[in-house]
Amino acid sequence: MLQGITLWIREMRAHERVNPLGLATVLDPAQLLVAFAKNQADSLAVAEESLREGVLSCVLIDISRPLNLREGRRLQLAAKAGGTTGLCLIPEGMGSNAAETRWRVRPAFDAEKGDSTLMHWEIIKNKSGTIGVWDVQWSQKARCVHVVSPVGLRPGAKGTTG
């Protein structure tokens, strides 16, 4: 469960709305701030300042166009300076060369158990470590995600033996 305030930055033209109550299992809805910016340039400016200040526990930003190296690096430096976790929600295939890590996450519904919390997480880019695949599941009792089964390291990844 996230402790402290989380800021989610979205562009005004985003059609989907965030439902804070839908996130209640991972954060206190009262601790979620949603900011709407005019465009991605404004979103990036808000994210950078928020990360640098170090008063938030997490800053999420929805990306509507690929980040260039300068934009990505500025966000990285701001997050490091403020000690704040920053997450960019990037549509599949858009990417950013400046990302420290890049994850692909998709649902892995288990029809047998009727469990909608099972997810397939794949780290497809990691500048400083291993890339791999995991099936994870949300535990309501423990209020955290845990690995159901490590699918394994990707071929050629650092740390693989073959």
Please state, rounded to an integer, the average pLDDT across all residues of the chain: 81
Closest by Cα among 33, 94, 100, 39 to 67:
94
pLDDT higher than 80, residue 161: no
pLDDT higher than 70, residue 156: no
| 43 alpha-carbon distance from chain centroid | 16
**Tens digits of residue pLDDT in 79-88:** 999 999 998 8
Total-model pTM: 0.68
Q: Count the neighbouring beta carbons within 10 Å of the beta carbon of residue 146.
A: 10
Separation CA 95–CA 68 (nearest Å): 10
**Tens digits of residue pLDDT in 43-73:** 999 999 999 999 999 999 998 888 888 998 8
**Tens digits of residue pLDDT in 114-131:** 667 788 888 888 888 888
